[in-house]
Amino acid sequence: MNTPYTKREDVTEKIWDLEISDPYRWLEDSNNQETKRWIDLQNKYTDSYLRDSYFEKLSKKLTKNFDSVIFSTPHFTNGYYFYTERQKKENQPVLYVRQGLDGTPIKLIDPNNLNSDNNVSLDYWTVSKSGKYLAYGLSTNGTEMATLFIKDVGKNENLKEEIDNCRYSSISWLSDDSGFFYTRGLVNGTVPKNEEGLHQKIYFHKLGDDIKNDELIFGQNRPKEDMIGMTISLDDQYLAIKVGQNWVENDIYLYNIKTKETKPLIIGISASFYPLFLKNKIIFYTNHRADNYRIISISLSELDNPGPIEKWLDLVREKEYPLTSCRFSSNKILLEYLKNVCSEVIICDHDGREIDKIPLPTYSSVNSISTNRYEEEFFYSVTSFTFPSVIYRYDPIEDNYKKFREIENSINPDDYNIEQKWSKSKDGSMIPFFVIYKKDLKKDGKTPTILYGYGGFKNSVEPDFLKIWIPWLEKGGIYASANIRGGGEFGKKWHEDGIRDKKQNSFDDFISVAEYLVHEGYTNESNIGILGGSNGGLLVSAVAVQKPDLFKAVCSKVPLTDMVRFHNFGIAIRWVNEYGDPRNHEELKDILKWSPYHNIKKELTYPSFFFTTAENDKRVDPLHARKMAAYLQSINTKTLIFTDIKSGHGSGKPVQKMIETQALILSFFFKELNLKIS
């Protein structure tokens, strides 16, 4: 099948003194029939190239790898243990509850039985203090636009209430189970175009009441970009409200539940603050005057006159490496640090004194910690590149850590090497990355290699089980994972050095890792492929345009590519602090230096591209992948694009769809990098 024809229009927009060409703007309209026909033709074209014997063999291998029982770290309260578990052959995880650790599992929510398409996902759930009630969100077709339901756990029946537009709602229950505070957007049917997921506010719902009577608590006349979270004090007196419009800074308000007064507590400080209440104090996990984060606290008795934040108690001081999360049991603080991109968990008492350190394997990460502010027990989950999650439980009676559950591993970790290396970026910064390959691999300078990266929004790329890349590793391929600036691997400055007018640092870092892999004999320019999703899709699209001779193949998943217009679509308006604001003249000029869509040059030869996107992606609009793919095809670059129908950005995707998309990606890399599958 030949490359489908794409209409090119003479569209030029003048913004200040800048004339910006946009020949594929018509592909922004997902509802246009011409766009829909284009999507259908492109999917058929991709199928004609990728759905062959490679795809079939890889699909079977992935299906076998996914054919195991997967479960989450338990959440527990008042003797009840809640957890999700996906049995073999199931498409979606199911929520269960046990009364006691050894109790009989009771199925509470099974998305697999809610419709025949298996496209309903359980997006989130929050249990009341007693364990009697459960608030949870369900969405369909990957939209993430959840409806909130309430279940009576003992009766295993839903209450009558259904609350729409509760996308990843933050929920805080009153301790007597009489109601809860929650966040939601505007009522369906009243949301302005391109503003789904915005206009977040806090409401209170009393169980049994009509949702129309829910009281608006916070958010009136505030910016539509607000991202709101909250936590409630143990005595139900205060609600601490965390609100901001970006990932760099936020304010804190206190809502007095009894007097219904809202007062600012932390306002206008350029730092992040994450609140949590203990018995007699409120603590904040923050990077205020601490690039690597610390914990500060103030007594609840001082909240009427808190004084300057500099006078508050420094409960846990900053270390030389970043604190990435903190959790509280009834008598301990669990502090997770990231030391050279690997987890370290230190345990303190509530006064901040270190009392223990959890033993962890080399090159591992803790991907979940589950605590309860009322109980001493806790759970944590550990993983690495070559083994899936292993869950441990702290037994307060025996005062030890015991293996609780372990996900079956389909490979032998002893068959693989994991190396951590460092490359020198353009400005001299040292950039860490991991390299994973079979021990019997002979480095000959031409091994097919996939390099993954992200580099944004303070997200750290930590060791994680390479389940979907096992077929690649087993056939002798190399997988590398880069820890570039823009992420959170080394604290606040590491993030800030990869955003806005310093965004080019992220691209230079990634390029330096690729060049290291070539120079040190792992691979060469004809055998290296690059991979990234979302912000990582932007990354690989940008570096491939900047350094086309360094790479052979590019897989850009659900990417951003048009950075002149990204802020006009959905929640992306919240990302201007990360990428720069195209509405600002000087910042737009910076953006145009690296925006992938605007830096394609028809006289250059680019690597092969494969874009994946999804019909219902409400985070990164699929227009980005469409426009970039069309432009590259117009200059005769081998370019494929797959649009997953009835799917979204990735969260809640059914297993069969995961297997299909990953088999296409693997098939692309096997073909383009000449890795033999037989």
Grouping H, G, I as helix, E, B as strand and the rest as coil, residue 299 is strand
- The span from the CA of 106 to the CA of 126, in Å, is 17
Catalytic site residue 649? yes
Report H helices in 421-484. 470-474
Which residue is listed with tokens 């139900």? 236
- DSSP per-residue string spanning 634-671: HTT--EEEEEETT--SSTT--HHHHHHHHHHHHHHHHH
Give the 3-state secondary structure of 191-257. CCCCCCCCCCEEEEEECCCCHHHCEEEECCCCCCCCEEEEEECCCCCEEEEEEECCCCCCEEEEEEC
CB 607 within 8 A of CB 544: yes
Could you say which of 128, 534, 595, 608 is catalytic?
534
| Element spanning 62, H or E | helix 53-66
DSSP 79: T
- The span from the CA of 648 to the CA of 139, in Å, is 11
Could you say which of 381, 512, 649, 667 is catalytic?
649
Beta-bridge partner residues of 416: 438
For strand 364-370 and strand 378-384, is the pairing parallel, antiparallel, or unpaired?
antiparallel
Catalytic site residue 534? yes
* CA-derived radius of gyration, the chain: 25
Tokens of 608: 């092969």
Long-range own/partner contacts, residues 207-213 (CB < 8 A, 24 or more apart):
207/133, 207/150, 207/159, 207/161, 207/177, 207/178, 207/179, 208/159, 208/160, 208/161, 209/161, 209/179, 211/161, 211/162, 211/163
Beta-bridge partner residues of 417: 437
- The span from the CA of 297 to the CA of 560, in Å, is 39
Which residue is listed with tokens 């730092």? 271
Tokens of 483: 């820890």
- The span from the CA of 61 to the CA of 45, in Å, is 24
Which positions are catalytic?
534, 649
